[in-house]
């Protein structure tokens, strides 16, 4: 319990230090906003209330403590998401257990769209030396990239800690800018409570602590996010199945306090159905300024999904799907394939 208190105190102090400037920032001022788009069909199917999931390579994109492996020796995952406005959002990750040392993982997120028609402003001849846009092609590409390395370890049967180091790159037309960031996280397993609650976990994470991205004379911060969460099973029975409930409280740098809630029912250990919702998220607005009205910050609504899990000859194969309804825009569909090896 002392280790748990120490981990939570450290994370709380970090969020006070790094989130203080966020109190005066408004929506839309973060660079690398793609880091706020959820990765993984299972995680998103839970309404993004996935802060307390353990033993899953996909947690390197959420809470790095969650990749610490106990039963598997290695895991790999690939996720595909056709995001809004024809933006592609793909990710992959692989983790490996180094005995008692811990679990290491590497991963990447790729986000963007190609062949956007370019409507370029050409400066008069007298001002050519001050021309900012020097590209000449008829189209341009927008691509974001995050490369990351994660380490996590179970320091006891109850406490797991993890950290991720990221290289972030944004490319727009002929210009590329980059930044570095760090994520830290912890998950503490409380266990069962009175025979009614099983596998109870609490967690905390602080994501995207790092340098900003500067275009011309203005530097924009990357989206620092602090979150705490809990998950537990209210049903755990071999014949009736398992029912997981997950709750997260998340504070992004550029938006109000958010609350995520999700549930997952697993039958027979191989078939799962999920649903979740982001409270205070869909339709949330900032406070506006004297020069403009409040701006709607988000468009996501209900998420639903499911998955199939198959084990054979020491291998685990899991296929997950999630659909998220969007305000005004078409719904978003995600698929994720995860492979584990004993």
Q: Residue 80's beta-bridge partner residues?
A: 90, 335
Residue 327 pLDDT level (bands cut at 50, 70, 90): confident
| CATH superfamily placement of domain 2-119+138-341 | monomeric porin ompg (2.40.160.40)
Parallel, antiparallel or unpaired: strands 241-252 and 258-267: antiparallel
Cα–Cα distance list, 101 to 66, 106, 188, 225, 312 (Å):
15, 16, 19, 28, 27
For the chain, how big is the Rg over CA atoms in Å?
21
User: Stretch 92-115: mean pLDDT, rounded?
Assistant: 95
Q: What is the DSSP secondary structure assignment for residue 331, as one 8-state letter? A: P
Q: Are 309 and 82 spatial neighbours (Cβ–Cβ below 8 Å)?
A: no
**Mean pLDDT over residues 149-170, rounded?**
96
Give the mean pLDDT of the chain: 85
pLDDT at 239: 83
Q: Look at the block and give the residue holding tokens 């602090």.
A: 226
pTM for the full predicted model? 0.84
Q: Is residue 85 helix, strand or coil?
A: helix
Which of these, 228, 227, 231, lies nearest to 200 by C-alpha position?
Answer: 231
Average pLDDT, integer, range 11-29: 48
Amino acid 17: pLDDT: 40
* Per-residue pLDDT tens over the stretch 307-321: 999 988 888 999 999
d(CA 271, CA 76): 20
pLDDT surpassing 70 at residue 204: yes
Q: What is the mean pLDDT of residues 22-49?
A: 81
């Amino acid at each position: 319990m002392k280790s748990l208190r120490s981990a939570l105190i450290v994370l709380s102090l970090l969020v006070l230090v790094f989130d203080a400037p966020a109190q005066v920032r408004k929506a839309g001022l973060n660079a690398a906003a793609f880091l706020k788009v959820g990765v993984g069909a299972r995680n998103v199917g839970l309404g993004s209330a996935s802060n307390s999931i353990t033993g899953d390579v996909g947690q390197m994109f959420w809470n790095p403590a969650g990749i610490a492996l106990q039963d598997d020796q290695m895991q790999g995952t690939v996720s595909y998401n056709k995001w809004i406005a024809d933006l592609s959002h793909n990710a992959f990750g692989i983790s490996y257990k180094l005995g008692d040392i811990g679990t290491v993982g590497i991963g990447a997120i790729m986000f963007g769209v190609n062949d956007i028609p370019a409507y370029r402003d050409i400066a008069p001849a007298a001002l050519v030396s001050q021309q900012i846009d020097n590209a000449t092609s008829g189209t341009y590409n927008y691509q974001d990239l995050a490369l990351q390395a994660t380490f996590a370890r179970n320091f006891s049967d109850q406490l797991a800690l993890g950290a991720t180091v990221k290289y972030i790159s944004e490319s727009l037309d002929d210009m590329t800018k980059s930044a570095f960031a760090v994520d830290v996280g912890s998950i503490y397993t409380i266990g069962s409570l009175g025979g009614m609650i099983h596998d109870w976990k609490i967690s905390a994470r602080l994501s995207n602590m790092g340098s900003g991205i500067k275009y011309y004379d203005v530097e924009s911060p990357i989206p620092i996010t602090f979150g705490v969460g809990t998950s537990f099973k209210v049903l755990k029975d071999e014949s009736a199945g398992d029912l997981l409930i997950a709750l997260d409280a998340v504070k992004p740098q550029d938006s109000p306090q958010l609350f995520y809630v999700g549930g997952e029912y697993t039958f027979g250990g191989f078939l799962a159905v999920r649903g979740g919702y982001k409270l205070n998220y869909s339709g949330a607005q900032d406070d506006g300024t004297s020069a403009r009205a409040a701006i709607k910050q988000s468009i996501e609504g209900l998420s639903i999904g499911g998955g199939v899990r198959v084990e054979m000859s020491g291998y685990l194969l899991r296929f997950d799907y999630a659909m998220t309804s969007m305000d005004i825009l078409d719904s978003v569909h995600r698929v994720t394939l995860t492979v584990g090896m004993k």
